[in-house]
Each structure stands twice: as structure tokens, then as C-alpha cells.
Amino acid sequence: MTNPEHERWVVEADGVAADYSGLIALADVDLRLPAARLTAIIGPNGAGKSTLLKLLTGMKKPLRGSLRVCGMDIHTARRANAVAYVPQETDIDWDYPISVRDVVLTGRYGRSRQSGGWRAWLPPRFIGASHHDKAHAAMAAVQVDDLADRPIGALSGGQKKRVFMARSIAQEADLMLLDEPLAGVDRRSERIIIDYLKEFVRCGKSVLMVTHDLPTVRDCADWVVLVNRAIAGVGDPEEMLAAEALEKGYHRIEHRGER
């Protein structure tokens, strides 16, 4: 793949590997992803898709290799609030005593620290009206503002995804990572999510979305990464969703699983 001068990379990985107490989950990741695209990450269960996202949030440290996002090293990107993250449903404790409004407001915590001043040390309610306004606007953008006072346990699947999207929107990041935002989501929620992501990309921002929903990938994605314990392929949707590429990407895991 060539890189014209005007194109920026949003992810640059060289020889990255990640493990869970010795078991390699991802190996030999060499990856260049162009900015301002909606990139879909596909691959079988246990392929390391979530692990790839966790490397980009800095939650997981790479075993080896070098990793940059938005042209910065991970630490700088984190301090700059460059990367926002929408978790997979199973990663959240839905009994946690917190309301929708407070979840979305956590998207502003990093920004309130960046803007400095003594207010950053105060409890969430007092961090300033501008942060509260931005959180409210983010809720309105994905139509969850009328749910603001609900505990997060009392939401439907689609509403849950949109609440976490609102948190990411409130963060005003350049790169949005979404881990299976379309799983268990009805038509209406899917429409709202996809429409927002397309708009986000049109503004020059980037999206990295893990999904198992191949028809949506065909319709909406600009770029596709096929993951299977390593990068099994990168390309445009037509190329990557062709039968043989998919076969290759989804097959290796069974082969490895036998051992």
C-alpha cells in the first residue's frame, strides 16, 4: 500500500505482540491504518480484536514492538485525550451504581484535567458548566438525553451502546475505538450509531470498529482489518470480504486450536 503525502496514519504498529500471562494473544502486528476512515476489525472469537483495542488505549502494554496512535506514542496520546473507547458489553459491570448522565460525564474527566485549574480536583458535579453542557450535547447526539437519570443497569442493549458512545463523543477524541457496538442492537439504534460514525469520519476523525456483522461492514466500512491472532489481512471491504480472504482469516484459528 502506498502512502501519498497528504495521508496521515492513525495507527502505526511495528512488530507488536501481546500476551496474557505468557499466552500469546497477538503476534507480529505490523499495521498502518489511514486516518479519516471508518475501519472495521473482523475476525473469529478469541482472535485478539479486543486485545488490539486495549493496546491502543494503553490498558495493555505490548510485550514487544512499537506502537503509535494519531502520530503520538501511546502515553502522549492518552494525556491528549486522543483516543476514546466504547467497551464490549461483557467488559462492564451493569450493576455498578451509576447513572447514564454520570457515565457520559466521565468522558469529560480527562478534558477537565487538561484545562487545568483547581476545579479539576472537585467532585464531578462541580467540574464546570461547560463540561456538563458538552456531556449533554453528546447524549443528545445519540438520543439518550431522555435516559439521563436512569441507572445503567436499566437500559436495553441498544441504549447501553449509545450511552457509551455518548461518553466517547463527550471526550472529543480524534480516534474512536468501538468493541462490537452493533451486537444485540435493533435497527433504530444501529441507524443512529452508524449515522453518527459516518458523520464523525466526514469531519476528518477516525473510527476503528470491531464487529461480527459482515453485511454492515460491506455497506459502511471504508477499510477492513482481518485479525486472527495476527493481522491476517488489510484492505478495502470488497477485497477483504471476498470468499478466499475470509476463508484464510477465519480458518487459521481452527488449525491452531487443534494443537
- For residue 248, what is its C-alpha cell? 484464510
Which of positions 39-58 make contact with Mg ion (CB under 5 A)?
Answer: 50
Q: With beta carbons less than 8 A apart as the criterion, state whether 176 and 207 touch.
A: yes
Q: How many residues does the chain have?
A: 259
Decide if 162 contacts 195 (C-beta within 8 A).
no
Report angle CA 7, 79, 29 to the nearest 5 degrees: 50
Q: Is the distance from CB of 163 to CB of 104 less than 8 angstroms?
A: yes
Where do the DSSP E strands lie in 43-86?
64-69, 72-73, 83-86
Contact call for residue 159 and Mg ion (CB under 5 A): no
Window of 86-94, 155-163, 193-201, 234-242 that interacts with another protein by CB under 8 A: 86-94
Closest contact distance (angstroms) between CB of 111 and ligand ATP is 28
Cell of 257: 486450536
Shortest Å distance, C-beta 234 to another protein = 23
183, 212 contact by CB (below 8 A): yes
Q: Which of 32, 63, 99, 248 binds another protein (CB under 8 A)?
A: 99
- Site track for another protein across 30-59, x = CB under 8 A: ------------------------x--xxx
User: CB-wise, 88 or 143, nearer to Mg ion?
Assistant: 88
- The correct pick among 1, 20, 21, 215 for binding another protein (CB under 8 A) is 21
Site residues, another protein (CB under 8 A) = 21, 54, 57-59, 78-81, 83-85, 87, 91-93, 95-99, 102-103, 106-107, 109-110, 113, 121, 123-124, 151, 153, 167, 171, 177
